[in-house]
Amino acid sequence: MKEFEATITDLAHDGRGVARIDGKTVFVSGALLGEQVRLGIRKRHRNFDEAETLEVLERSPHRVEPQCAHFGQCGGCSLQHLDAPAQIQAKQRVLSDNFARIGKVEPKRWLEPLTDAPWGYRRKGRLSVRAVAKKGRVLVGFREESNPRFVADISHCEVVHPAIGSRIGLLAELIGGLDAANDIPQIEFAAGDDTVALVFRHLKPLSERDSQALVAFGKAHGLAIYLQPGGVSSVHPLWPEQPRLTFRLPAGEGVADVELEFQPLDFVQVNAGMNRRMLARTMELLDPQPTDRVLDLFCGLGNFTLPIARRVAEVAGVEGEHGLVERAAANAARNGIANATFHVANLFEDQRGSAWARAGWDKILLDPPRAGAEQVLEYLPRKGTDRIVYVSCHPASLARDAGLLVHRHGFELTAAGVMDMFPHTAHVESIALFERR
């Protein structure tokens, strides 16, 4: 490994430090802005190199001791060594840079960043499983930071829901003792308010002994156990017979009380506390009125749709996954909400002929995946829509779509800000308000 000393002149969008060596950009894991480090080059590319920090020669004043003993080995977090205020500033800078560079826009007003509990927040995720012959045991965890082909050797996780994060070592021991130790590639976890579920993907049928061991583990630790022998539709409970995963969005801060039921592989916002704060801010920006007709695109289970319905004349949710739409409609019925309708539609295809797309909407809420909402913005918003709230999990696609709304559709980017949905990672979740000029 070739070693160099360098000054870190920037922080990349993935949380790595940026240095220049002989005119070439080097991305340095474990290094912070302003630090002088000794680094080792671990991978060379034509236009850039990748390196790791071997020694910090001059420390950043924002450097802190990572809480997790596995930081630097496990790739689940990239910013535990950076203090919380600096993490937020870095994410705000990423959002601002993307607006300026990609969308050629700037918000009139920056919103105060939203934050919540930084530890034990992750209620959804996937743990990799690997039986490692050289170690003579099974590893359960996230991928290694330096080599994503390998599973990090960890015993616990500080950011995962405590019911799971504190038991990762026990899960490894459990699987290591199964007949199917080599046939379980992953475990997905999902935490509701009262039930925490584990979904074991298995490539071959489980023996009766293995099934009993999984049930015993679930009973001992108060966890619901699901099996997944094939695709998503094959997921089914092993114990108990009918587990129920739910989360409640409590009344207050502009949000009416609703309860949503979901399946363990359904998309739900990873951070429950941040989801409640995000919902309150969305309501503040959307400003729903009793006479409003609102369109909620990429609605999922109705996380936004149902609270909005409590305050408007009509709301329609549109989502591409049939199962999510079914459960959203069931959640509406369960909460006694009759003014919400749901539609299945692939929003990455032209849907302008659909009745919901031709209708007039006072306000639109967008919460797309990383790809953004570019296709939808080819035919929406229609005349009469004067306010759009955009919740984003990818600043580049938000910036691109902001440019479309401002430069093509006649909107103004009134306000924007970051929401720390994934503390200690470089992931940037954000929200933006657009108003008709």
CA atoms within 13 A on the CB side of 281: 23
Q: Which of 157, 5, 10 is nearest to 69 (CA)?
A: 157
CB 163 within 8 A of CB 193: no
Amino acid making up residue 341: T
Residue 61: partners with Cβ closer than 8 Å, 6 or more residues away: none
The single residue of 77, 157, 299, 393 carrying the catalytic annotation is: 393
Q: Give me the count of residues in the chain.
A: 437
Query: Cα separation of 190 and 177, whole Å?
Result: 24
Partner residues linked to 19 by β-bridges: 26
Query: Cα separation of 71 and 382, whole Å?
Result: 48
Partner residues linked to 248 by β-bridges: 259
Query: Cα separation of 9 and 30, whole Å?
Result: 14
- Token pair for 421: 């949905």
CB atoms within 10 A of CB 43: 12
For residue 74, indicate whether it is catalytic: no
- Token pair for 92: 């705000």
93-101 contacts: CB < 8 A, separation 24 or more? 94/13, 94/395, 94/426, 94/428, 95/395, 95/398, 95/399, 95/416, 95/417, 95/418, 95/428, 95/430, 98/395, 98/396, 98/398, 98/399, 99/395, 99/399, 99/402, 99/413, 99/416, 101/399
Query: Cα separation of 335 and 377, whole Å?
Result: 32
Query: Cα separation of 340 and 317, whole Å?
Result: 7
CB atoms within 10 A of CB 155: 15
* Active-site annotation, residues: 393
